[in-house]
Amino acid sequence: MTAAQVTKDNVYAMLRPWHSRGLAPKTISNYQQALRWLMRWLDVPFSIAAAMPHIMGVRPRGTLVTVEAFNKVLDHVRPHMRLYLLLCSDAAMRSGTAVKITEANYDRERRSLVFTSKANSHVYVPLTARLAAMIEQAEEYGERDKPLVGRLGGMIGRNAAGHYARALQRAIRDAGVERFTSHDLRRSTARRLYQDTKDVRLVQHMLGHVSMKSTFDYLFPHTSQVNAAQVEKAAGEQ
């Protein structure tokens, strides 16, 4: 098939599996953007690419969790939930990654975790003392290849994400703090790391991002607008 033979039906056939798999809107939006670039490179007629339905991307959240609020929640959870939350906070993991971490990912000698991120990038994260202690506690139970949260009695498998999300909200209610999600913990750690180091690349590596844009969305979710005085100063007029 040549570029001139590509039709709207061909494009819709490629889009259909992405929607049927229940992918997140932002993921579908990214896939469609990559497809547009490919069609542009192949010189597919613009009218074909323009017919692709627009998917509204997810706006970056700006919720930050204070250390005090997080510690209060930790006082109201069971060991497996504590490990899960520490992986999301202290190691800045996605929830889906946290429930899959096994003993094989833990380097006891270097007190660190080595794993593959959602974007298939290699991530190395040094651990806090409290997280390392929880991991070593989990290693005393269950089968070696079983995820660590599961070895402490937590749920693993397809329905784990919803289970932990509900458990977190119960703990938040019991602790009497403002609502937040496990992903807000990841963002909060990334923001504090940046404030301490001012090194965006370091934050990008810890989060396992391939695109720097994703890292900037974490660090600066709200875009500021430049004002006239700042433009004048940048131009050397003041």
Mapped onto helix, strand or coil, the DSSP state of residue 25 is helix
Distance CA 70, CA 92 (A): 14
Distance CA 158, CA 217 (A): 28
Mean pLDDT of the chain: 87
Phi/psi at 52 (5° precision):
-65, 130
Within the chain, which residue ranges are assigned CATH 1.10.443.10?
Answer: 67-219
**In one letter, which amino acid is 117?**
S
pLDDT digits (tens, 9 = 90+) for 44-69: 777 777 777 666 555 557 789 999 99
pLDDT digits (tens, 9 = 90+) for 84-110: 999 999 999 999 999 999 999 999 999
Cα dist from 39 to 4, 23, 45, 121, 224, whole Å:
11, 22, 8, 27, 33
Q: Tell me which DSSP letter residue 23 carries.
A: -
Q: Which of 85, 143, 132, 89 minimizes the C-alpha distance to 107?
A: 132
Contact in structure between 155 and 100 (CB atoms under 8 Å): no
- The pTM of this model reads 0.74
More confident residue, 55 or 38: 38
Distance CA 228, CA 177 (A): 40
Distance CA 190, CA 184 (A): 10
Mapped onto helix, strand or coil, the DSSP state of residue 122 is strand
CA angle 179–183–189, rounded 5-degree value? 100
- Residue 44 is predicted with a pLDDT of 78
Contact in structure between 94 and 186 (CB atoms under 8 Å): yes
- Residue 121 is predicted with a pLDDT of 84
Q: Which CATH architecture is the domain 67-219 placed in?
A: Orthogonal Bundle (1.10)
Phi/psi at 106 (5° precision):
-95, 125
The pLDDT confidence band at residue 130, using thresholds 50, 70 and 90, is very high
